[in-house]
């Protein structure tokens, strides 16, 4: 379980793959980027699973059905079943099914993944506000989603139909760069209606609950690259987390992280699941990890040499403990450059 306020990355004498029964893995920025496997990801996942750790893939992307995602991961080199993929479409479909009667019609603003998840919960997807829906659900529909679909949602919401969203990620990575995500589409409907949706995806509890229900994990480790979805989701679910630096979060953002965005562990990539984690120790007016010592006062300081990640862990302890973490952020670029991070 996480501390109320984490002030330092944790250490672990055991390999994380042995200390936790299930890895709840984000996909984009953790397992793959632009569809291609991230360096060391495939070998690390296979080794962790061979050692007895169960793998589950948890994504806010409601467009692709679990079977399609599983086939993609399998093609990358990690044989995966559809049951090992949990998405925000499944989480929002369960949320709707708990509040609406069996067989209720649901107006779908999104892609195929939403329709499959709704049918799985005994709900009936419909396409028009004139189909007398009991609910509206909005999920990522890809670049081909027509503008008129937003209007359809607005018509139904204006009639008092409850509105649900799979997730509110403002952006989504693509092979060409950063593209608008479902959160941007949700904003369109929010602005037009003044309404607020019930949201299921990371970092909110419905997504974590869906993941635990489907995996049966008793001592899970959330593994992700985003502070505001993966790490905050672990915080809200009161489970431990591993931040990998293969995606969107950089060292400066990590040092300035709010309490709910501070991971239990930090490592370069998924190889971090296969090892223990070094301890960060309070020493004098600073913090030591490996050969590095970090201090935070009016300035953020780093002394020593050794493994760059140890320096980052020590810096995290100094910045997170210091009451003026925002002041520390001003110095973070200089000290992180020394680590090559």
- Angstrom CA distances, 308 to 41, 85, 292, 313, 341, stand at 20, 33, 9, 9, 8
C-alpha angle 27-32-36 in degrees, rounded to nearest 5: 150
Do 326 and 13 form a contact (C-beta atoms < 8 A)? no
Catalytic residue among 26, 225, 310, 331: 26
Closest CA to 118 of 135, 130, 132: 135
Work out the angle between the directed axes of helices 308-321 and 325-339 (0-180°, nearest 10): 170
Work out the angle between the directed axes of helices 112-120 and 88-99 (0-180°, nearest 10): 40
Annotated catalytic residue 269: no
Annotated catalytic residue 26: yes
Report the C-alpha gap between 65 and 61 in whole angstroms. Answer: 9
Catalytic residue among 28, 240, 267, 331: 28
Bridge-based pairing of strands 177-180 and 171-174 is antiparallel
Do 167 and 182 form a contact (C-beta atoms < 8 A)? yes
Enzyme catalytic residues = 26, 28
């Amino acid at each position: 379980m996480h501390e109320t306020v984490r002030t330092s990355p944790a250490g672990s004498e055991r390999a994380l793959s042995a200390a936790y029964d299930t890895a709840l893995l984000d996909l984009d920025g953790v397992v793959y980027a632009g569809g291609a496997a991230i360096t060391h990801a495939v070998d690390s996942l296979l080794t962790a699973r061979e050692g007895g750790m169960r793998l589950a893939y948890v994504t806010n992307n409601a467009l692709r059905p679990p079977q399609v995602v599983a086939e993609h991961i399998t093609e990358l080199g990690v044989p995966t079943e559809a049951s090992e993929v949990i998405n925000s479409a499944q989480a929002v479909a369960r949320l709707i099914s708990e509040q609406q009667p069996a067989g209720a019609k649901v107006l779908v603003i999104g892609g195929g993944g939403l329709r499959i998840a709704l049918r799985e919960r005994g709900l009936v997807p419909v396409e028009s506000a004139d189909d007398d829906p009991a609910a509206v659900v909005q999920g990522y529909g890809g670049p081909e989603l027509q503008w008129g679909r937003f209007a359809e949602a607005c018509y139904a919401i204006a009639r008092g139909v409850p509105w649900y969203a799979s997730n509110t990620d403002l952006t989504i990575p693509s092979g060409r760069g950063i593209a608008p995500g479902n959160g941007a589409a949700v904003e369109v409907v929010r602005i037009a209606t003044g309404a607020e949706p019930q949201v299921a995806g990371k970092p909110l509890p419905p997504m974590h609950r869906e993941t635990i229900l489907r995996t049966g994990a008793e001592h899970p480790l959330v593994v992700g690259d985003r502070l505001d979805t993966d790490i905050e989701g672990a915080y809200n679910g009161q489970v431990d987390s591993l931040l990998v630096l293969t995606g969107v979060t950089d060292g400066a953002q990590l040092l300035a992280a709010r309490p709910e965005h501070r991971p239990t562990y930090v490592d370069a990539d998924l190889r971090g699941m296969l090892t223990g984690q070094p301890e960060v120790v309070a020493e004098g007016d600073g913090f030591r990890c490996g050969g590095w010592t970090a201090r935070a006062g009016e300035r953020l300081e780093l002394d020593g040499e050794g493994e760059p990640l140890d320096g980052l862990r020590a810096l995290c302890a100094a910045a997170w403990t210091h009451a003026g973490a925002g002041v520390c952020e001003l110095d973070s670029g200089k000290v992180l450059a020394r680590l090559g991070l």
